[in-house]
Structure 1
Amino acid sequence: MSWFEDVLRSRSDKTRMITPDEALPGRDTPVLAPGAVHFVNGHPLQPPFPDGLEAIVLAGGCFWGIEEIFWGVPGVYTTAAGYAGGVTPNPTYEEVCTARTGHAESVLVVFDPAVVSLERLLAVFWESHDPTLGMRQGNDVGTQYRSAVFATSEAQLGGVEATAEHYARRLAAAGIDDPITTEIGPLVRFYWAEDYHQQYLAKNPSGYRCHAAAGVAFDG
């Protein structure tokens, strides 16, 4: 695809999911070097993690803001910004922004289920963005900004689906009839984003936040 065709795509159909044969080739080497640690809590961003922890991958628009929300939840051991749900291996941020990788900006959340339940984490997730907007959040438009949950076990998958059904009822009770468009499925692969994206809002407190929340509480 030429540069001109890329420009046309950026103006017209970034909300269309690519097919595998349209995906950028990517690379074999990860864009984040091994051994990276969390800027806020000093915990590792990559496995191995301590025994007894679980992980889930969440996407709700710009990953800077979603990650900031989750690293502050008690029971969360570490968080990392990255890319999931697409085709291109080890994509760069610039490649993801072309809408030719299929990935959503995502956050790896590693948590201790003895301290915070999956349901509580998902309650935070549903409340922190608007899951009815399809391929956008607020003014951010494109497949990279879609809402998604990628589970790491069958048990998690069932929990995600149950909380989605619950939140759909909460939205309907609040007069919001638009269906939840969140992509829900098993995690195939999470690719860590570049170092400068990790804990971006801790490094840049006045940076961009996009929280296009529906304004409906999960409990009530």
Structure 2
Amino acid sequence: MFGLKTRMIAQADALPGRIEAIPTDETHIVLHTPLKGPYPAGLETAVFGMGCFWGVERLFWRLPGVYVTAAGYIGGYTPNPTYKEVCTGQTGHTEGVLVVYDPKKVSFKDLLKVFWENHDPTQGHRQGNDVGTQYRSAVFPSTEAQYEAALQSAETFQSALNAKGMGQITTEIFAPNSQPFYFAEGYHQGYLEKNPDGYCGLKGSGVVCAI
């Protein structure tokens, strides 16, 4: 059954994937900006994994200063995976949302605050009722400054979790630009705009991130 793989697969055992990229939308359905760029000069990018990417993408596209968002797969081994492949747990990817933003209008710390407060980063290979390695919590920075900010914010949020008697953060924070991002199929892009009554599994821990 899809979505029930809770052990990370070894790279040698991952599905082979494909050379060609999976077809996807060209333009964001809400923001009307190009999903794959080119992006205007001065913008920055980061990818966040915090459970099912449908609700996560909507969370970020609503923020002032965000230029475009996109659902995709990241942190695994299989090149150009499909959704069904990712759901088997045999690609190693987590569902992620690419966020392209103007740092003059919204800071990376602002994005981190949204990240920490809107999911439970202590759950390992799951998020609520969504179980599997593709739902694990992760941050994928694109710069050293983002990387250092993410590490510092994790320490700060862990202290807040400790004060509430909650568990240890399981979020993976990757080195800058160390993981390729693969755009998900077109029907996943802007999913909750296309399907207003669609599933959204976002649920925070109730702990405030004071960064």
**Pairwise same-fold verdict (TM > 0.5):** yes
1:49 pairs, out of 20, 26, 39, with: 39
Q: Do the aligned residues in 1 keep the contact of 2:121 with 2:137 (CA within 8 Å)?
A: yes
AA in 1 matched with 2:174: G
Structure 1 position 156 matched with structure 2 position 153: no
Tell me the SS of whatever aligns to 1:70: helix
1:202 pairs, out of 193, 201, 205, with: 193
Q: Gapped runs of 5+ residues in structure 2?
A: none
Tell me the SS of whatever aligns to 2:35: coil
Structure 1 position 182 matched with structure 2 position 171: yes
Matches within 5 A, 1:130-149: 130-149=120-139
Post-superposition shift, 1:47? 2.2
Q: Tell me the distance in 2 between the aligned counterparts of 1:215 and 1:66.
A: 17
* Residue-by-residue CA offset, 1:135-178 (whole Å, 9 max, x unaligned): 000011110000000111111100100111111111112222x1
**CA-atom RMSD in angstroms:** 1.5
Moved more, 81-90 or 208-217: 208-217
Q: Gapped runs of 5+ residues in structure 1?
A: 1-6
Percent of aligned pairs sharing the same letter? 56
Moved more, 178-187 or 139-148: 178-187
Post-superposition shift, 1:212? 3.0
Q: State the 4+ residue runs in structure 1 displaced beyond 6 angstroms.
A: none
Q: Do the aligned residues in 1 keep the contact of 2:55 with 2:192 (CA within 8 Å)?
A: yes
Q: Tell me the distance in 2 between the aligned counterparts of 1:77 and 1:165.
A: 29
* Residue-by-residue CA offset, 1:5-49 (whole Å, 9 max, x unaligned): xx6xx69x711101111110111111134x700000100110210
Moved more, 149-158 or 192-201: 149-158
AA in 2 matched with 1:25: P
Tell me the SS of whatever aligns to 1:16: coil
Residue 94 of structure 1 corresponds to which residue in structure 2?
Answer: 84
Structure 1 position 26 matched with structure 2 position 17: yes
Q: Do the aligned residues in 1 keep the contact of 2:156 with 2:210 (CA within 8 Å)?
A: no
Q: Tell me the distance in 1 between the aligned counterparts of 2:139 and 2:210.
A: 19
Q: Tell me the distance in 2 between the aligned counterparts of 1:80 and 1:63.
A: 9
Matches within 5 A, 1:100-111: 100-111=90-101
Residues matched between the structures, number: 209
1:71 pairs, out of 36, 61, 66, with: 61
Normalised by the length of structure 2, the TM-score is 0.95
Q: Tell me the distance in 2 between the aligned counterparts of 1:32 and 1:104.
A: 19
Residue 208 of structure 2 corresponds to which residue in structure 1?
Answer: 217
1:116 pairs, out of 106, 111, 116, with: 106
Q: Which has the larger radius of gyration?
A: 1
AA in 1 matched with 2:58: E
Tell me the SS of whatever aligns to 2:26: coil
Normalised by the length of structure 1, the TM-score is 0.92
Q: Do the aligned residues in 1 keep the contact of 2:127 with 2:136 (CA within 8 Å)?
A: yes
* Residue-by-residue CA offset, 1:64-88 (whole Å, 9 max, x unaligned): 0110100001111100000000000
Q: Tell me the distance in 2 between the aligned counterparts of 1:98 and 1:173.
A: 36
Residue 4 of structure 1 corresponds to which residue in structure 2?
Answer: none
AA in 2 matched with 1:19: A
Tell me the SS of whatever aligns to 2:97: strand
Q: Tell me the distance in 2 between the aligned counterparts of 1:131 and 1:17.
A: 17
Q: Tell me the distance in 2 between the aligned counterparts of 1:162 and 1:219.
A: 11
